[in-house]
Amino acid sequence: VTRQRPSIGLPGNKPLVILCRPQIGDNAGAVARAMLNFGLTELRIVQPEFGWPNAKAVAAASGAAEVLNGVRIFATLTEALFDVQHLYATTARNRELNKPIVTPAHAAALARDRCAEGRRVALLFGAERTGLTNDETALAEMLVTIPTNPKFSSLNLAQAVLLLAYEHYRLHGDIPPVRQPATQAAPASKAELQGAIDHLLQELDAVDFFRTPDRRVSLSLAITQMLERRALTTSEVDLLRGIVKELARGRPGRARASAT
């Protein structure tokens, strides 16, 4: 079978998630939600300690029916691996296993390449309290460890799945790090800006803001630099001129006291 690299949001060959002996039904639902948030859809559960279908899982899935309805339950891990060619096991602690330990980002990059070749990749997660046994990780070609604060490293199951799914999605999304707003206004021309500055200085002269010629030189330069640095748009320059004009009129019915 020839498979093409899956595009963002489109069906395609993506990693599947296997939960090994999960203890809490809510967690299976939260896992389904986290998977679908980042486009993963295939969930297998080995020896759950709760019944299936599961009402608490449905509630925690917040509508991720696409994942929940397709869940397959297996009696043994071996059976759940029937078509899996590449197995990445998520472990919290560093284990004394003779396997490479990789970051979620690195695992996602490897999984993407394997999936693009048409291979079946599975991400394996252990029981909430105890994690994966050595036997359960024996068939994994690598261990994925999420880097966490060593003083407070315990992630819940759905959050571990979330982070791996997030890394998977990032690679497929080709998302630009910065998008400027579509409606971004262009900066005003320097002449428009100078016009507003001249207007402001003229009104400030009228109220004797500067007091002395020396202060006028230094303060007018500070004003010019302050406004120049802000890269004002044409409409912002117009707004500024309107503000200056109205303020210069003074409050209605109040004459300005002379500056003696």
Q: Which stretch binds a copy of itself (CB under 8 A): 51-59, 68-76, 173-181, 251-259?
A: 173-181
Q: Which helix (H) or strand (E) holds 171?
A: helix 157-173
Q: Is 149 in the site for a copy of itself (CB under 8 A)?
A: yes
State how far the alpha carbon of 15 is from the alpha carbons of 83, 116, 151, in Å: 12, 11, 31
Strand partners, 16: 122
Number of residues that bind a copy of itself (CB under 8 A): 49
Angle ∠(2,113,45) on CA atoms, nearest 5: 85
Closer by beta carbon to a copy of itself, 47 or else 159: 159
| Residue 70 engages a copy of itself in binding (rule: CB under 8 A) | no
Asked if 221 is part of the footprint of a copy of itself (rule: CB under 8 A), the reply reads no
Cα 169 to chain centroid, rounded: 10
Q: Answer left, alpha or beta for residue 94, where phi above 0 means left and psi between -120 and 50 means alpha.
A: beta
CA 21 distance to own-chain centroid: 30
Question: Which stretch in 93-101, 193-201, 224-232, 249-257 sits in contact with a copy of itself by CB under 8 A?
Answer: 93-101
Establish if 153 lies at the interface with a copy of itself (CB under 8 A).
yes
Q: Of residues 28, 38, 193, 237, which one binds a copy of itself by CB under 8 A?
A: 38
- Contact between 28 and 19 under an 8 Å Cβ cutoff? The reply is yes
* Interaction site with a copy of itself (CB under 8 A): 9, 33-34, 36-39, 62-64, 66, 96-103, 105-106, 146-156, 159, 162-163, 166, 169-170, 173, 175-181, 183-185
